[in-house]
Amino acid sequence: MKHLLKPFRRGGLMATSLAALTIISSDAYPAVTVTFTKPDQFTDMPFSNSGRDEVFRVLQQHFEKLGAKLPAGQDLKVDVGDIDLAGTIEPARANSSADFRILRGGADWPMIKLRYAVEEKGKAIKSGEARVSDLNYLREFNRYSTNEPLRYERKMLDDWFAKEIAPARP
């Protein structure tokens, strides 16, 4: 199953993708490339196509936000290999069209498996693989409001970026 995404505009440039999202930036800002590898095999995703597209969109935008923190001339490449969202998804009920997620704080913590590289002038200055997770996602302060999508996953990625990527400056 191929995951089709609608084209989007960023900085006046058009980008389209099959099973991948790429942000195209000018040379003045870090470029961020996000690829979702085999998204139909991810551990935990919404059942609806629109719900899945929303997860990809929110994560792609969040990686772009994180990548913007890099110094000019450095680019971030992320290949997402698996996603297990916080909580457990339940399919829509007969009287509702939306799936819903139950958060218990037990063995339902968020996890994102990825490969990453920070590049400067086309050369990797830091790269690796990570299984980013937050076992205490319901027990810690979260700066994202309850109304924001993927608040636990975004906080988890913020913490990973601050620990693993931000110190990677040469």
Residue 133 has pLDDT above 80, yes or no: yes
Burial of 85 (0-12, 13-18, 19+ CB in 10 A): buried
Token pair of 64 as six digits: 């772009």
1-20 confidence digits (pLDDT tens): 333 333 333 333 333 333 44
The amino acid sitting at 15 is: A
First to last CA, the chain: 41
Q: How many helices (H) and strands (E) does the chain have?
A: 2, 9
Grade residue 24 by pLDDT with cuts at 50, 70 and 90. very low
Q: Which of 8-12, 69-73, 94-98 has the lowest mean pLDDT?
A: 8-12
Please provide the average confidence, as pLDDT, over all residues in the chain.
Answer: 80
Burial of 13 (0-12, 13-18, 19+ CB in 10 A): exposed
Residue 49: both structure tokens together: 């196509």
Contact 118/130 with Cβ under 8 angstroms?
A: no
